[in-house]
Structure formats: structure tokens, C-alpha cells
Amino acid sequence: MAKPEMKTNEAANACDLRDWLDNVEALGQLEHISGADWDLEIGALTEIILERLSSPPAVMFESVPGYDPNRRVLANMLETLERTALTLNLPTDLKTIPLIDALRAKLRALQPIKPTIVSTGPVMENVERGDQIDLLKFPVPRWHEGDGGRYLGTAHLVITRDPETGVENVGCYRVMLHDKDKVGLYISPGKHGKMHYEKAMRAGKPFPVAMVFGQHPLLFIAASQAVPFGVNEYEWTGGLLGQPIEVMEGPLTGLRFPATAEIAIEGEIIPGESLPEGPFGEWPGYYASAQRAEPFVRVKALYYRNDPIICGAAPFKPTIHGMYRSCLRAATVWNGMEQAGVPDIRGVYLPPPAQRFMIVVAIKQRYPGHAKQAALVACQCHAGAYLGRYVVVVDEDIDITDLNEVVWAIATRSDPATSVDILRRTWSGPLDPIIPPGQKGHNSRMIIEATRPYEWRDRFPDVSQIGSDTRKRFSAKWEKQLAAVQARHARANVRQD
Ligand SMILES: Cc1cc2nc3c(=O)[nH]c(=O)nc-3n(C[C@H](O)[C@H](O)[C@H](O)COP(=O)(O)O)c2cc1C
Ligand SMILES: [Mn+2]
């Protein structure tokens, strides 16, 4: 069968999940699984696929037992470099550090573009109000064994407005399904949506909320990652795509959501009402924030496309995924460092198993103290300051996307008595597993200078490794045999169950 052609942003509606799926299909990175149950089975299969494959496909779960077979769940949207690049409107053939570099250039130059307001769209193909609303008719997964419920919102949009200023926000804060028309919301302190909510509660007023479950993954990235304070998430998304996205105003709340959303709701939080929320398997790989009373939204209207798709990005133990989050965070930390004037940065990366808990920076050392400056700024600029732990600075010859190389640099180019500093009382939060309950808030940072010491860097022992010219010469000469040896001995990244 001929492969479908990739659609460009001009040809496709730039911000429709269905066009994105066609492009992922064209990349050969979409799998379909029929018959997995909503209760743990979808979550477990997602986790096992991530464990087994270093380049995992996106997975569409269809025909979930007990549900309309065309109501689907999409997992693993962004788990390869190609799909991350596709989503961010970047070339799909970039390696990790060039991708991060291209992304940060794009973010630096980004000019927000206001969305186009349309009167309706595919999301209005089905409209249900009041008693008709039944969210239990959607195959909402219970993702992890320790979860306190089914999570409808893990890769979604929560749209709110500041009750005092009217400023709109689009955030991604987890959403638990309580009932056919009630969904719980957990927003951690300081998030924009939380500030809006707190203002409404102080005024004793119902708080209108719209939510979208299923949309182009760039909108999920905008809601969950990269948008700087003061920039509207829809305008940022338009700026990144180079054209406006289409939104419509919710008939009940006026809150705006993408016209191509798969599923959208409008509703309100009533002051004083709460239900038990959590626990939930969180991105550090633990259930760290326990079950608590949290607000919930009374759903007043439900809209969905025909054959709707719920997008899911439940976090699993980060030893098996999360590369795209590392790339996004690395791009924003790198830009933060550059804005603070740190020269000659050759790369920034967050090893996926550690996520924000470790930042690795490669520099070309230029002056005494350059490495320390790079480390301090990396872990204290806005993008790098929250929930960190270790920051490692290495020389430019280290491949910072390869943990073996980073560990080798630490092991051989740092001396604990002279290469390490500790910062105390830095910015942490409720999800930090090592801070005891009741004491969460601050944590500490360790800076590791794993660079050749500046004073005698020219006399530091040479690395024992074939030079790149030698490597090229012999690998070209022996390529056929080497490829055959490789093919005979290749092993998939398989874990036995
Ligand atoms: C899969 C995923 C789930 C998230 N869940 C939550 C959550 O439950 N609560 C929360 O406060 N932040 C959560 N976040 C982080 C926020 O989305 C992120 O901090 C975002 O920048 C918040 O938007 P805001 O800056 O407009 O408040 C999540 C992020 C991701 C990627
Ligand atoms: Mn925001």
C-alpha cells in the first residue's frame, strides 16, 4: 500500500488532531489496538510498549469493551523525536540537540498570533445538555494501579478567565471523572488556573470552566509546558504555527475552545463544594500527592465530534519515557541562560529519567568561573528553578543526551572536594518525593562541575578513543561487514514479562 503523503500546515487545518494523525500515519508511527479494557488494560499496554521500545509508536485504542467502538483513546502522542518535531512545526529529521536548538530559536523569535473566532466547528457535531450529559459513555481509562479513579484529563486543556481582569488562561491540570456530569480538578499552588479559581472563591461566586479532552498535541504542549507568563496559550500556538488557530466561544460561558476539539465541556465550580481527588501516578514516578478534597466542575454542556478521541498522556515512571518533555524544558532553560548572558553554551538537556531533577549543560569553557556561572544560572533561571536537584556542567566533547557519557564525565572530571556546591532553600513543591509530608516547599541543589579544570585544562589527559577521521576511514572501508555483524546481533530493547 502506498504511504499517505505528509500534509503541510498550509494544506491542513494547522491545528486539527485528525490531520496530525494522518501525518503520524505517514511517518509509520501509529498503531491501533482493539479490545483493551478501560480499567488498567489501556494504561498497562501503554506502559509495556514504552518499556519495550526505544522508539515507541503512538497508540490508538479502539473498540473498548462496553463502549461505542468508535470512541477512542490515543496514547503516546509525543514519544519520538520525529513526532515531537512534527508537532512543533520543525523538520522531522533533526537529532536531539539540533532539535532543541531549532526549537529555542523558534521560541525566541515567536510572535503571538491571535486566534480566529468562528461560530461553530466539528466539535459541535454532537451537543448534549443537562440530563443528557453522560461522561461515563466515554472509555475513560484508569491508567495506573494506584490511581484513585479514572482520569479523563491527562493531555487536555482547562480554560478559565481571571474573574477580576478577564485574562484568559489555558492550562493542563489533571481531571478525574467522578460521575456522569462531575469532573474533579487538581491544580497546584501558583498555577494560573489556581489563581483564577482562588479569586472567584474569595468573591463567593461560581467559577466558569471549559475543558477540552482531545486536540492537536501542540495545544497540549502550550497548556502544559512552554508558554511564558503573560502570553496567551492560543496566541502562542498560532505564533508557533505561523497562522491563527480557530476557536469558538462556548455558548454558556463564553470561554474559548478550539473548533476542532474532539470533546469539550462547559460547566462551573460552586464555592465550598469538593470531592476526594487522587492519588494519581505523577511524573516523578510516584504517587506523592495523596488523596485530598479538591474542587469539581458541574458539567452543564458536552460537545463532541463524531467518533471522538480522548488524548491521554498519563505519566509513567520516567525511566521509560518523557524525552519530549526533556527537549521542551531544555529549550526554555537554554534560552533563559542565554538571556542571562552565559556564552558558548553547546547544549542543554534533562536526562528523561530525572526530568527536571537533573539539568546537564555542555559549554566551551572560555574563562575561570564560566562553568559555575552556567550551573547557577541553569538551575535558577525561571525555566530551570522549580523542582530541580542536580545540575551538571560538562565540556563540549560530551554527548549530553547519552547518560553513559554524562556519568563518565562526572566520574572522571569532577573531584567531590572541589567540584561540588550545594544551594539550600531553593524552589520545590508538593510533588517532590524526598521532602517529607508537611515540609514540602523548599529543597536543595547540587552543582557538579564535571568539566576539565579550567586552570590546567590543556594538560588534562587525552581521551582514549579513535579520532573521527580514523573512525570514518575504517567504517567506510568495512561498512558491509559491520552492517552484517550488526544485523546478526541486533537486539530489540525487550524486557521479558
Ligand atoms: C501530563 C501533565 C499533567 C499535568 N497535571 C497537572 C496537574 O494535575 N496540576 C497542575 O497544577 N499542573 C499539572 N501539570 C503542569 C501544568 O500543566 C503546567 O505547570 C502548566 O504550565 C500550567 O499552566 P499555567 O502556567 O497556565 O498555570 C501537568 C503537566 C502535564 C504535562
Ligand atoms: Mn498560563
| Residue range 26-48, pLDDT digits in tens | 999 999 999 999 999 999 999 99
- Pair 442, 426: CB distance under 8 Å: yes
CB atoms within 10 A of CB 367: 10
CB atoms within 10 A of CB 231: 14
Grid cell, residue 437, equals 509530608
What are the CA-CA distances from residue 15 to residues 251, 287, 328, 374 (Å)? 22, 33, 19, 37
What is the CA(281)–ligand 1 centre distance, in A? Answer: 14
97-111, 201-215, 402-416, 423-437: least confidently modelled range: 423-437
Contacts of 211 (CB under 8 A, 6+ apart): 153, 156, 157, 158, 159, 175, 183, 264, 265, 297
Q: What is the pLDDT of residue 323?
A: 96
| Residue range 214-254, pLDDT digits in tens | 999 999 999 998 688 789 999 999 999 999 999 999 999 99
Q: Tell me which residue has its CA closest to atom 19 in ligand 1.
A: 224
Q: What phi and psi, each to the nearest 5 degrees, are found at residue 289?
A: -100, 115
- The answer, yes or no, to whether residue 9 has pLDDT greater than 70, is no
> What length does the chain have?
497
Ligand 1 atom at minimum distance from 233 CA:
26
287-291, 344-348, 354-358, 441-445: least confidently modelled range: 287-291
Average pLDDT over residues 456-467: 97
Q: What is the pLDDT of residue 11?
A: 44
- The answer, yes or no, to whether residue 438 has pLDDT greater than 50, is yes
Q: Name the residue among 454, 382, 383, 377 with its Cα closest to residue 423.
A: 377
pTM of the model: 0.94
Q: Which residue in this structure is represented by grid cell 497508540?
A: 59
DSSP symbols for 371-392: HHHHHHHHHHSHHHHTT--EEE
Residues lining ligand 1, Cβ inside 6 A: 154-155, 169, 171-174, 186-188, 191-193, 223-224, 313, 315
Specify the fold of 323-454: UbiD C-terminal domain-like (3.40.1670)
What are the CA-CA distances from residue 303 to residues 43, 64, 124 (Å)? 25, 21, 6
Alpha carbon distance 303, 305 (integer Å): 7
Ligand nearest to the CA of 168: 2
User: Pocket of ligand 1, candidates 147, 172, 287, 328: which has the most ligand atoms within 8 Å of its Cβ, to mutate?
Assistant: 172
60 three-state secondary structure: strand
Please provide the average confidence, as pLDDT, over all residues in the chain: 95
Ligand 1 atom at minimum distance from 191 CA:
27
Q: Which residue in this structure is represented by grid cell 529549550?
A: 331
Ligand nearest to the CA of 226: 1
What is the CA(361)–ligand 1 centre distance, in A? Answer: 25
Q: Name the residue among 443, 153, 88 with its Cα closest to residue 312.
A: 153
Average pLDDT over residues 302-321: 98
Q: What is the pLDDT of residue 430?
A: 85
Nearest 10 degrees: Cα torsion 320, 326, 328, 329: 140
- Residue with the bigger pLDDT between 230 and 164: it is 164
69-78, 164-173, 272-281, 287-296: least confidently modelled range: 287-296
In the chain, ranges of CATH 3.40.1670.10 domains: 323-454
- The answer, yes or no, to whether residue 477 has pLDDT greater than 70, is yes
What is the CA(261)–ligand 2 centre distance, in A? Answer: 19
Contacts of 348 (CB under 8 A, 6+ apart): 100, 330, 331, 333, 334, 337, 359, 360, 361, 362, 378, 400
Distance of CA 494 to the CA centre of its chain: 25
Alpha carbon distance 55, 24 (integer Å): 13
For strands 207-212 and 182-185, give the pairing. unpaired
Q: What is the pLDDT of residue 190?
A: 82
Q: What is the pLDDT of residue 492?
A: 60
In the chain, ranges of CATH 2.30.110.10 domains: 1-77+110-319
21-30, 123-132, 255-264, 289-298: least confidently modelled range: 289-298
Q: What is the pLDDT of residue 226?
A: 66
Q: What is the pLDDT of residue 496?
A: 58
What is the CA(370)–ligand 2 centre distance, in A? Answer: 33
| Residue range 361-390, pLDDT digits in tens | 999 999 999 999 999 999 999 999 999 999
% of the chain at pLDDT higher than 90:
92
Ligand 1 atom at minimum distance from 155 CA:
1
Q: Tell me which residue has its CA closest to atom 7 in ligand 1.
A: 173
25 three-state secondary structure: helix
Contacts of 233 (CB under 8 A, 6+ apart): 157, 169, 170, 171, 219, 222, 223, 227
Q: Which residue in this structure is represented by grid cell 549543560?
A: 361
Alpha carbon distance 403, 399 (integer Å): 8
Ligand 1 atom at minimum distance from 187 CA:
11
Alpha carbon distance 358, 105 (integer Å): 23
Kindly report the CA angle at 317 between 388 and 406, in degrees rounded to 5? 55
Candidates 3.40.640.10, 3.30.200.20, 2.30.110.10, 1.10.540.10; CATH matching 1-77+110-319: 2.30.110.10
CB-count burial class (<10 Å; 0-12, 13-18, 19+) for 225: middle
| Residue range 86-107, pLDDT digits in tens | 999 999 999 999 999 999 999 9
What is the CA(388)–ligand 2 centre distance, in A? Answer: 21
Local confidence band at 5 (pLDDT 50, 70, 90 cut-offs): low
Q: Tell me which residue has its CA closest to atom 4 in ligand 1.
A: 173
- The answer, yes or no, to whether residue 13 has pLDDT greater than 60, is no
- The answer, yes or no, to whether residue 494 has pLDDT greater than 60, is no
Q: Tell me which residue has its CA closest to atom 30 in ligand 1.
A: 224
Q: Name the residue among 44, 43, 56 with its Cα closest to residue 493.
A: 56
Alpha carbon distance 76, 208 (integer Å): 31
Q: What is the pLDDT of residue 2?
A: 44
Identity of residue 83: R
User: Pocket of ligand 1, candidates 191, 296, 324, 326: which has the most ligand atoms within 8 Å of its Cβ, to mutate?
Assistant: 191
Local confidence band at 280 (pLDDT 50, 70, 90 cut-offs): very high
Identity of residue 44: A
Q: What phi and psi, each to the nearest 5 degrees, are found at residue 349?
A: -150, 150
**Does residue 122 have a cis bond before it (omega within 30 degrees)?**
no
Q: Name the residue among 65, 29, 69 with its Cα closest to residue 49.
A: 29
